[in-house]
Structure 1
Amino acid sequence: MNSRLKYILAFICIFVLGVAPTFASSTESSEDVNVKELILDHVADAYEGHINILGLNATIPLPIIVKGENSGWQIFMSSNFHHGTAEHNGFYIASSGDYRGKIVEKNQAGEEVRPWDFSITKNTLGLLLSSVLLIVIILSMASWYKKHSKEDDPKVPKGFFGFMELFIMNVNDDIIKPCVGKNYKKFAPYLLTAFFFIFINNIMGLIPIFPFGANVTGNIAVTLVLALFTMVIVNVFGTKEYWKEIFWPEVPTWLKVPIPIMPAIEVVGILTKPFALMIRLFANILAGHSIVLGLVCLIFVTVQLGTAINTSMTIVSVVLTIFIDLVEILVAYIQAYVFTMLSAVFIGLAQVEPHHSHAEKH
């Protein structure tokens, strides 16, 4: 059997064995399945991880690091909350309200307030794992080239290193270089890092078995930080001509003074560009996870409709879930590609050079 087909089938088995039992354990205690709450709980962050596969049902506690108004710094494991049903040292997980699913405490007025929360949540752990994996890949590639570049007859990278070289050069030559322009080498490290960071997190988010499965790039806080990095680089390294086009664009004077209509529009554009980056990545990844989870829910929603309907809908659910999950693998690459390409375009537009007339050139 083709090795690629083996990997695809293995991924499908992992998904089916990982997701379905988890949903089953979430729904077995209730006759009515609240699909909305179920999906939101699974795409949201959490203070513990779950492993539910082949009869193994385990909860993995994560470190809680908080600083409260009353008790100061506290470090303990999330197992002390007993799945969110118990209080520990004045802290507990809110079951409703604005802070639902977050650690809170009561202040002197008896109101729920959020402490300083530095806990290692599921998303934080996924973020750390993906960062470590990215660093290991980069350092491994650098070590390989450093070792073989000193040889009289340099070797051509093969296997994993050959694939990564092809991948990196594809991003560099087909996205960064044409979009940024002649100064592309200056911005290539950031853009390559952003691409592989997003891609690795997207792929890890599709693996439903803890410690993977975290919805990192479907978290708006993460996409916000990525977009802010791009915005800072665009505006800090923008040329004088770039800023001139913002505050004094080449339009009729009445559009600039006495009311700065065009400069105001250009300034708004400084904010809308990163906002588009943030929302596009967040919405697409979150939507993909929600669709997959919604399809899995069909199995449990139709239980009360009879064996025949439930069996047929189970087959439909599994087939569609596998199809969408395979599409999500492609989407994982596309979203990393789009974010990197748009960031490169924005950076390239900020590298505009002064325009010289034909007479000045001669």
Structure 2
Amino acid sequence: MAFRSMKYLLVAAFSLLITSFYNVSIAQDKTGDQTQQTEAAGEKKEGFNPSKLIMEHVMDAHEFHFATIGEHAIAIPLPVLLYSPQRGVSFFSYSRFEEGKVAYEGYKSEEGHIVAVDADGKVDEAVKVYDFSLTRNVMQMLLSLVLLVVLMLNVAKKYKKNAGKAPTGFQNAVEPVITFVRDEVGKPNLGHFYEKYMPYLLTVFFFILINNLVGLIPGTANVTGNIAFTLVLSCISLIVILLSTNGHFWGHIFWPPGVPFLVKLILIPVELLGVILIKPAALAIRLFANMIAGHIVITCFILLIFIFGSMNTVAGWGFSPVSIAFTVFIYMIEILVAFIQAFIFTNLTAVFIGQSLEGEHSDANGGHDDAVII
């Protein structure tokens, strides 16, 4: 009953969101004449654009942006490294662009993308620019990697120091997670091969988990909500899967037993695509879609305050408690999702590796493993 009530509240909230967008668009139509007069006078003013703010939040950037007070942005600029065949190498801080207001060394930032400009400040299409900058996704991924290594090395050091003793502190928090991944992911899917793959499975699990949790801190980047990040992780898993295959596995792929010849001609490319393309795509898209969706929902609930405030100040303040309550609720769910998505990615990787190792086991189960994946 409580779950059904919560569904009704979510539906009501999104209905208000849609209505607010409609009202804002109507209000803009009513003030269209004033806008045209303002633009004719050369005073073009940019209005509140929720979709732009949402995309700025979930997309990559050249700085860690925390807040904007008036016209001053509170942000940590990152180093910019550019290469152009026509202009050579350029290295400077992103703060040189002053939030995209000025050009520097023949370059300018337009909506987060660095482009080459001429002496008049116009985009120079003749100049090709290769951006090798350390963006916030890259920096946060490196910081998460350092955090992972430091935490795991400390845990390993405590295991050596307190051998035979009960775990304490952070070691006590991590050990149940490690045993859970071993007993619920490694052993069921990999059998007696599990010890060989546990280092990789644990590394993937904790690396995704740390990036998921760090991404929930305001001002940080949603690294796991970037398709490039999840695609690289899935490609690494694909390499591990392919290196784990045996002759029996490939024999079933290129010549499925007990299948009519004409059906084999259709089934062989389908099975091959399933191994090379569909499985890594499932890993990448599942993690990406779930993590970016949560960030978008949280951002939408926060922006509802400003959407109602743009229509009426009282409405903005009045809806604030409702918006904040839903934001906190979704935020708590996102913490749970951070653990669940790390587990699902690791578990599916173990399932795919297990299928490549134990072809006979899959046949004996009558395709049970495939049913679990679906």
Tell me if both proteins adopt one fold, taking TM over 0.5 as the criterion: yes
Tell me if the contact between 2:85 and 2:128 (Cα under 8 Å) persists in the aligned partners: no
| Secondary structure class of the residue paired with 2:317 | helix
Distance in 2 of aligned mates of 1:148 and 1:114: 58
Distance in 2 of aligned mates of 1:113 and 1:140: 49
Distance in 2 of aligned mates of 1:204 and 1:322: 17
Give yes or no for the alignment of 1:223 onto 2:230: yes
Q: What residue ranges of structure 1 are gaps of 5+ in the alignment?
A: 1-28, 96-100, 358-362
Listed as ranges, the matches of 1:231-310 within 5 Å are 231-255=238-262, 260-270=265-275, 271-310=277-316
How far apart are 1:340 and its partner, in Å? 0.6
Tell me if the contact between 2:86 and 2:127 (Cα under 8 Å) persists in the aligned partners: no
Who is 1:103 aligned against?
A: 114
Who is 1:328 aligned against?
A: 334
Give yes or no for the alignment of 1:133 onto 2:151: no
Tell me if the contact between 1:103 and 1:114 (Cα under 8 Å) persists in the aligned partners: no
| Secondary structure class of the residue paired with 1:217 | helix
Give yes or no for the alignment of 1:41 onto 2:56: yes
Give yes or no for the alignment of 1:52 onto 2:67: yes
Distance in 1 of aligned mates of 2:45 and 2:191: 58
Structure 1 residues 286 and 113: CA distance shift in structure 2, 3 A = farther
Give yes or no for the alignment of 1:347 onto 2:353: yes
Give yes or no for the alignment of 1:198 onto 2:208: yes
Name the amino acid aligned to 1:200.
I
Structure 1 residues 157 and 296: CA distance shift in structure 2, 3 A = same
Name the amino acid aligned to 1:126.
Q
| Secondary structure class of the residue paired with 2:92 | strand
Report Cα offsets for 1:268-309 as digits up to 9, x if no partner. Answer: 101101101111110111110000001100010011333442
Name the amino acid aligned to 1:205.
G
Give yes or no for the alignment of 1:64 onto 2:113: no
- More divergent stretch after superposition (61-70 vs 329-338): 61-70
Give yes or no for the alignment of 1:85 onto 2:92: no
Name the amino acid aligned to 2:156.
A
The count of corresponding residues between Structure 1 and Structure 2 is 314
Structure 1 residues 105 and 162: CA distance shift in structure 2, 3 A = same
Report Cα offsets for 1:21-76 as digits up to 9, x if no partner. Answer: xxxxxxxx978421111100111111112233999952211111121122212211
Distance in 1 of aligned mates of 2:338 and 2:75: 28
Name the amino acid aligned to 1:214.
A
| Secondary structure class of the residue paired with 2:225 | coil
Distance in 1 of aligned mates of 2:221 and 2:128: 23
Aligned-residue RMSD, C-alpha: 2.5
Listed as ranges, the matches of 1:142-153 within 5 Å are 142-149=156-163
Who is 2:137 aligned against?
A: 123
Report Cα offsets for 1:115-151 as digits up to 9, x if no partner. Answer: 23221111111101100000001111111122233xx
Name the amino acid aligned to 2:278.
T
Structure 1 residues 53 and 115: CA distance shift in structure 2, 3 A = closer
Percent identity over paired residues: 42
Distance in 2 of aligned mates of 1:291 and 1:282: 14
Q: Comparing both structures, which one devotes a greater share of its residues to helix? A: 2
Distance in 1 of aligned mates of 2:68 and 2:109: 26
Tell me if the contact between 1:246 and 1:266 (Cα under 8 Å) persists in the aligned partners: yes
Report Cα offsets for 1:234-287 as digits up to 9, x if no partner. Answer: 112111111111111113232366xx2111110110110110111111011111
Report Cα offsets for 1:61-101 as digits up to 9, x if no partner. Answer: 11111211222122111011111222222222234xxxxx2
Who is 1:75 aligned against?
A: 91
How far apart are 1:318 and its partner, in Å? 0.4
Name the amino acid aligned to 2:273.
V
Q: TM-score, normalised by structure 1?
A: 0.81
Structure 1 residues 106 and 345: CA distance shift in structure 2, 3 A = same
Tell me if the contact between 1:218 and 1:282 (Cα under 8 Å) persists in the aligned partners: yes
Distance in 2 of aligned mates of 1:113 and 1:265: 44
Structure 1 residues 112 and 198: CA distance shift in structure 2, 3 A = farther
Structure 1 residues 54 and 148: CA distance shift in structure 2, 3 A = farther
Name the amino acid aligned to 2:188.
P
Name the amino acid aligned to 2:345.
F
Who is 1:20 aligned against?
A: none
Name the amino acid aligned to 1:240.
G
- More divergent stretch after superposition (140-149 vs 325-334): 140-149
Distance in 2 of aligned mates of 1:181 and 1:54: 57
Higher RCO, 1 or 2 (CA under 8 Å, sep at least 6)?
1
Tell me if the contact between 2:205 and 2:345 (Cα under 8 Å) persists in the aligned partners: yes
